[in-house]
Amino acid sequence: MLFQALASFGRVGISVCMSFGRAGLMLFNALVGKPEPARQWPLLRRQLYSVGVQSLLIIMVSGLFIGMVLGLQGYLVLTTYSAEASLGMMVSLSLLRELGPVVTALLFAGRAGSALTAEIGLMKATEQLSSMEMMAVDPLRRVVAPRFWAGVITMPLLTVIFVAVGIWGGALVGVDWKGIDSGFFWSAMQGAVEWRLDIVNCMLKSLAFAITVTWIALFNGYDAIPTSEGISRATTRTVVHSSLAVLGLDFLLTALMFGN
């Protein structure tokens, strides 16, 4: 029994290492090569719209309501200590340091990541990728690379929008509803937010999450079993693996950035 358990753990470990290796080779082969801007820009522009612009609605609505909830809960807590003037600091730091990049990455994985996996998996199931290879077209450069760069470019921009809308939502609750002086709210935020510690680290987190989530989504689609059930499982794996990766990576980055 013990040896069987150890053998099963070993098989799982070997399978995970092989998956990491295949994912790394896929990304390397997709990104390394002679750049062809004239051919790649139209593909990238199309993916920027599909991955970024079409995700704006869920990002803005989620950011607004999360900011409003932060403003309401923060006001209820801060009034206990007669410190409601610090609401702007609490809302802005919470969004910049944690909620902005993390929630944006989770929403991106659920909306755009799953779509990327399903799209590439369907192209594999209908043999479109094999057809490209028969026509001497590299499917990694043609299909994977534009989608990867689109995800890496758009997620930091979506994070900026999420944070901005969230701070505005917190101001709506704190200033317009609860009656906090607007000068206190905005001056507390400006006095607390630091360029390197908060804004730069927020962008670095978002960039790391963008690479991770997009990479996972593209690999699961490219490695999916070319059946309807296989595509469904690959899409589920994308959301689950991306969410776990974002949360684990968030802890590591937070420990590196703010641990001291």
User: Which amino acid is it at 183?
Assistant: G
| pLDDT-derived band at 37, boundaries 50, 70, 90 | confident
Contact call for residues 218 and 147 (beta carbons, < 8 A): yes
Q: Which helix (H) or strand (E) holds 256?
A: helix 228-258
Q: What percent of the chain has pLDDT over 90?
A: 61
Closest C-alpha among 174, 181, 201 to residue 90: 174
| pLDDT-derived band at 82, boundaries 50, 70, 90 | confident
Residue 259 clears pLDDT 90, i.e. is over it = no
Residue 96 clears pLDDT 80, i.e. is over it = yes
End-to-end CA distance of the chain: 46
pLDDT of residue 142: 87
Please give the mean pLDDT across all residues of the chain: 90
pLDDT of residue 29: 82
pLDDT of residue 39: 77
Sign, CA torsion 249/252/256/260: positive
pLDDT in tens, 237-246: 999 999 999 9
pLDDT of residue 23: 83
Q: How far is CA 156 from the centre of its chain?
A: 8
| pLDDT-derived band at 254, boundaries 50, 70, 90 | very high
Quote the pTM value: 0.92
Contact call for residues 50 and 155 (beta carbons, < 8 A): no
- Tell me the mean pLDDT in the region 216-243: 92
pLDDT of residue 92: 94
| pLDDT-derived band at 14, boundaries 50, 70, 90 | confident
Angle of the 201-222 helix axis to the 145-171 helix axis, nearest 10: 140
pLDDT of residue 22: 84
Residue 155 clears pLDDT 90, i.e. is over it = yes
Main-chain phi, psi angles of 194, to 5 degrees: -110, 145
Helix (H, G, I), strand (E, B) or coil at 180: coil
Q: Which residue has the higher pLDDT, 64 or 14?
A: 64
- Tell me the mean pLDDT in the region 210-233: 92
Q: Which residue has the higher pLDDT, 81 or 154?
A: 154
Helix (H, G, I), strand (E, B) or coil at 157: helix
- Tell me the mean pLDDT in the region 104-116: 94
Q: What does the chain look like in DSSP terms, one character per residue?
A: -HHHHHHHHHHHHHHHHHHHHHHHHHHHHHH-S---HHHHHHHHHHHIIIIIGGGHHHHHHHHHHHHHHHHHHHHHHHGGGT-GGGHHHHHHHHIIIIIHHHHHHHHHIIIIIHHHHHHHHHHHHTTHHHHHHHTT--HIIIIIHHHHHHHHHHHHHHHHHHHHHHHHHHHIIIIIIS---HHHHHHHHHHH--IIIIIIHHHHHHHHHHHHHHHHHHHHHHTS-SSHHHHHHHHHHHHHHHHHHHHHHHHHHHHHHH--
Sequence-distant (≥ 6) Cβ neighbours of residue 220 within 8 angstroms? 117, 121, 234, 235, 237, 238, 241
